[in-house]
Structure 1
């Protein structure tokens, strides 16, 4: 990146944040702190109103904005792909907003680039799936960003419904679902709410003060149940690839065997692992432990009983 592009990128970076330290900017751009200081000084000499506050960092003067940024053709491709992938994980109302944003980008592209984007869109697809019935993600995002109270009716795994008033902290996607992480005023603790079990969602004008500095990546790494159990499973080669893609609690080791690949599987619950292994049929064989084998026998017998009559 040449210096002119870097200075422009630095303005955009500051424009997207309230404050930022020189150290954070250096890490983001892969530069030294000294180079960041020189770039900030150059921007100041060029008339860009950058404010500095000791112990806080740098910020742009309120009201200073760059003219609208033109997207490159490659950036439009990336956003078009993002819209396509979002269709599998979000609702119609959310997809409409993403499509509207993409349409605005298309509007400023040259005609030839628009045509190429249309060709690309026809040449890409994901399996057709029904949109999941879930709470409006845009409302949940607004509650998190603006720290506004939410209320809704929640149906737990036992089909019991209760009314909740919550302080939204985060929105994470795992195990094929969106989950709202929020402080529940009914339970007086943080709770994990599956968005497909939320009904009658309402956003309130009342604001709240965040109880913790929630970080979604940290939650995914440490907030889910620890995978302290280990299982030895031999997978056929084709099934081994599926195991690497699907088993979210991790694989500790792999070893080639004549009949397939021996994997050490991390697990927090034998029942969940057994249910998933059954979906692989004879392509997966458990060697240990005996507890997992017994769980597989019990689930198999339950399935067999459904079709015995």
Structure 2
């Protein structure tokens, strides 16, 4: 990125935030803090009204906006891909909003670029598997951004129903589902609500003060159990590829050994690892530890008793 593009990007970055520190800008753009200081000074000399407050950071003077910026063809490609992926991860009403935004971008592209974007759209696809119904994500996002109370009916894993009033803090996507993290007034604590178990959601007029400075990345990091156990397993090549794609608790090491791939897998408990290894059949063989081998024997014997009972 040349300096002119970087200065424009810096203005857009500040325009999208109330305040931002030089350190945060340096991390975002992959630059040194010293370079950010020089760029801020250059923008000031060019007449861009940047305000600085000690201990808070930089901001653009209220009311200062750049004129509308046309999207590049490559940016349109990226957003088109985002719409396609959103179709697999969000609700129908949300997809409509994404498609509407993409249509507005298409409207300002040259005709040749529009044609190439249509060719790209025809050449990309994701599996059309059906996903369970879930709460309207746009309503949940409004509750977070506007700090408005949410009410809904919730169905727990044990199929029990309850009415909840919550103060929404964040939306996180993990284990194939969107989860609403919110302060539950019924339980008087923060709770994790799967959006496919939320029904009859209503956005109330009542507003609330946030109880904590919630950060979705920190939540995911803190809520993920620490994988303190590890096992050494020999995989056939195809099974090793599955391990790289599927084993979410982490692979500490791997190396080639004859025709197999030996991996060290992290895990929180032997039961879940054994259950997953059984799906690989004879394409995976546990080398260590003995506790995992014993767990595999226990689960295998339970399966035999279930299907081979006389």
TM-score (norm 1): 0.90
Per the alignment, residue 261 of structure 2 pairs with 261
Counterparts of 2:203 and 2:306, CA distance in 1: 44
Does the 8 Å contact 1:92/1:131 carry over to 2?
Answer: no
Give the direction of change, closer, same or farther, for the CA distance of 1:291–1:206 in structure 2 (3 Å limit).
farther
Structure 1 position 207 matched with structure 2 position 207: yes
State the 1:122 CA deviation. Answer: 0.7
Report if aligned partners of 1:26, 1:36 keep a CA contact under 8 Å in 2. yes
Aligned to 2:250: 250
Distance 1:230 1:207, change over 3 A: same
Task: State the 1:34 CA deviation.
Answer: 4.3
Alpha-carbon contact 1:87-1:131 (below 8 Å) kept: no
SS of equivalent to 2:88: coil
Q: Which residue of 1 aligns with 2:115?
A: 115
Matching residue of 1:223: 223
1:67 matches 2:73: no
Count of aligned residue pairs for this structure pair: 309
- Is there any run of 5+ residues in structure 1 with no aligned partner, and where? none
Q: Spell out, residue by residue over 1:280-301, the C-alpha distance to the aligned partner (whole angstroms, 9 max, x if none).
A: 2222223444444444445445
Q: Deviations over 1:15-72 (max 9, x none)?
A: 0000112332233334444443443344334333322223222212222211111000
- What is the rounded CA distance, in whole Å, between the counterparts of 1:163 and 1:182 in structure 2? 14
Matches within 5 A, 1:1-309: 1-258=1-258, 260-301=260-301, 303-304=303-304, 307=307
Offset at residue 142 of structure 1 (A): 1.8
Question: How far has the Cα of 1:246 moved from its partner?
Answer: 0.9
Of stretches 141-150 and 241-250 in structure 1, the one that deviates more from structure 2 is 141-150
CA distance in 2, matches of 1:87, 1:306: 40
RMSD: 2.3
Change (3 A) 1:297 1:110: same
How far did 1:136 drift?
1.4
Alpha-carbon distance in structure 1 between the residues aligned to 2:38 and 2:105: 34
For the residue of structure 2 that corresponds to 1:52, the secondary structure is: strand
Q: CA deviation at 1:224?
A: 1.6
Q: Which moved more, 1:93-102 or 1:291-300?
A: 291-300
Q: 1:271 to 1:184 in 2, by over 3 A?
A: farther
How far apart, CA to CA, are the structure 1 residues paired with 2:127 and 2:102? 21
Secondary structure, counterpart of 1:87 in structure 2? helix
Q: Distance in 1 between matches of 2:110 and 2:80?
A: 16
Deviation of 1:111 (Å): 0.2
> CA shift at 1:184, angstroms?
1.9
Q: Distance in 2 between matches of 1:291 and 1:134?
A: 40
Q: Is the 8 A contact 1:147 1:167 kept in 2?
A: yes
Structure 1 contact 91–131 (Cα < 8 Å) conserved: no
In the alignment, structure 2 segments of 5+ residues that lack a partner are none
What TM-score do the two structures reach when normalised by structure 2? Answer: 0.90
- More moved, 57-66 vs 243-252: 57-66
